[in-house]
Chains A and B, each alone.
Chain A
Amino acid sequence: MQALHQKAQELLESGRAKVIIGYGSGSGEKVRPVFVRNIADAPKLVWDQRCRQNLAVYLAKPEIKKMGMPAMVATPVVVRSIVQLIAERQLKCFELITLVIENAVVSELTDNAALEAYVANHPVVFPPPVKKEIETLAAMSVEERFKFWQDELSRCFKCYACRSSCPLCYCERCITECNQPQWVDVAPHALGNFEWHINRAMHMAGRCVQCGSCNIACPVGIPIALLTIEATRFVEREFGQHAGTQCNSPAALSSFRVEDKETFIL
């Protein structure tokens, strides 16, 4: 952490960064996102195993963009998000300073190649409960999965915490906020919830970087990450495109290969 504080101070002092976005002490034992703009506040930055929340979500916020050059304390999921945002032309690697910490050493990932190399060295890891859920669902029949999701989604009240915590959900007007036509029923009944979540999964296919922030964000404990993870892993298997790994890659659902293979078209 010393190294992180030092780095933060250096960046602010030299003017290279106007804000350090990282983790700081939160309520009780939690950590929370912090935005350090004064050198004196640099010691507020924290770095330990609690730092899991995906901070990349703040990169799209107008309030943050207005502050000037950000430096972001990046966990592997954050780096994946940054790579995906670069691939989607939302960001360029020099528009932020990506800080990674390994063995108490803080380094900057200064270009696309460095970002990609870091991602390659830190593959996606699911916590055991998520792994187990993925396996359990895969083993269920269609009817069992219907029951599972209807039961889980019955608690959904469309707070959109899942969407708001996701760095790849940066649309200024979400599909749910369009009423000409109203594609997704606004109300949180069974159909409205189904429509919302399948739309989000489709919009995340090949884009979700599998960080699990949506799971953490859901206030009623729905394992919602399972949907977007399924969509993105399907794209990995079928189209060979892995979200968050290549700074120059076409969007999976806006591109195609002539040799895309399917088994169901008559």
Chain B
Amino acid sequence: MDSQFEPKILAFVCNWCTYAGADLTGTSRIKYATNVRIVRFPCTGRIDYNLLLRAFAQGADGIIVSGCHPNDCHYTSGNFHARRRWMVFRQMMEYMGIDMRRVKFSWVSAAEGAKWAEVVNSAVADVRELGPSKAFQAMAREVA
């Protein structure tokens, strides 16, 4: 793998848990990989899988999707709906030939600053090893 390759990771996170958790990581002065850009959502239930497809199409090498633990969703059940959606989406992506090791799903609560750093670091390490996202690059080449 190219030792210069720094993966671009996009993180889709829920406002109430993971976003707050990521804030805690920062205020706790925990150092972690800087490859991630965070996009804030009210809830993981709002995250459409088309956003993940767009992220890959526009050059993301990896994606993190993270929200509240089951039973802790600020909107009661958004993360339960998200969980089902993620299960089916992962299956269909793998079925159509996309390596889903590029996408990490996690439950990170507002108190889990350390966990957020771990999730990001492991995502960056795994995607760095997988290399740049070739599948979507190949498909997107024709677009523009």
Contact = CB atoms under 8 A, between A and B. Distances in A.
Interface in A145-159: 145-150
A252 B83 CA distance: 12
Interface string A140-170: 0011111111100000000000000000000
B124 to A, nearest CB: 14
Contact of B105 (A143, A146, A265): A265
A137 interface: yes
A47 to B, nearest CB: 36
Nearest to A205: B88
Interface stretch (A25-33, A53-61, A183-191): A183-191
A264 B135 CA distance: 22
Interface residues of A, number: 44
B91 A265 contact: no
B49 interface: yes
B80 interface: yes
Contact of A146 (B49, B70, B77, B97): B97
B92 A201 contact: yes
Contact of B80 (A146, A252, A258): A258
A258 B71 contact: yes
How would you classify the secondary structure of chain A's contact residues: helix, strand, loop or mixed? helix
B41 interface: no
How would you classify the secondary structure of chain B's contact residues: helix, strand, loop or mixed? helix
Contact of A190 (B85, B87, B94, B138): B138
B31 interface: no
For this complex, into which size category does the number of interface residues on chain B fall?
Answer: 35 or more
Contacts of B70: 258
Nearest to B71: A258
Given A142-B99, A202-B88, A256 B93 contact: no
A146 B95 CA distance: 8
Given A185-B143, A191-B139, A258-B70, A145 B87 contact: no
B141 to A, nearest CB: 8
Contacts of B96: 145-146, 149, 194, 197-198, 227
B53 A198 contact: yes
A253 B97 contact: no
A234 B84 contact: no
Interface of B: 48-50, 53, 57, 70-71, 77, 80-81, 83-100, 104-107, 119, 122, 135-136, 138-143
Interface of A: 137, 142-150, 183-185, 187, 189-192, 194-195, 197-199, 201-202, 205, 227, 230-231, 234-235, 238-239, 252-256, 258, 260, 262, 264-266
What are the nearest 3 A-B pairs in CB distance?
A146-B97, A266-B106, A256-B80
